[in-house]
Amino acid sequence: MNLLEEISINCPYCGEPITVLIDGSLEQQQYVEDCQVCCKPMEIHVVISADGRCRVEARSEND
């Protein structure tokens, strides 16, 4: 089963809301994605909690 979910986050650089596609079948994910607005690379951290909800954090690579 493929559980793709669109989640909105705010870019750590420019603060604009962007949409990332999360694979809900994986418990934990971490990857780098370029901001759709300012094109800077941010680290996306995804944690799926026990109740199945996604928590997403975006961090700048320089943190």
* Residue found by looking up tokens 């909105």 in the block: 8
Sign of CA dihedral 37, 32, 5, 55: negative
Considering only 17, 38, 53, 57, the residue that binds Zn ion (CB under 5 A) is: 38
Binding window for Zn ion (CB under 5 A); candidates: 2-10, 27-35, 49-57 = 27-35
**Does residue 26 touch Zn ion according to CB under 5 A?**
no
**Does residue 43 touch Zn ion according to CB under 5 A?**
no
Considering only 26, 37, 55, 60, the residue that binds Zn ion (CB under 5 A) is: 37
Task: Write out the E strands in the chain.
Answer: 4-10, 17-23, 28-34, 41-48, 54-60
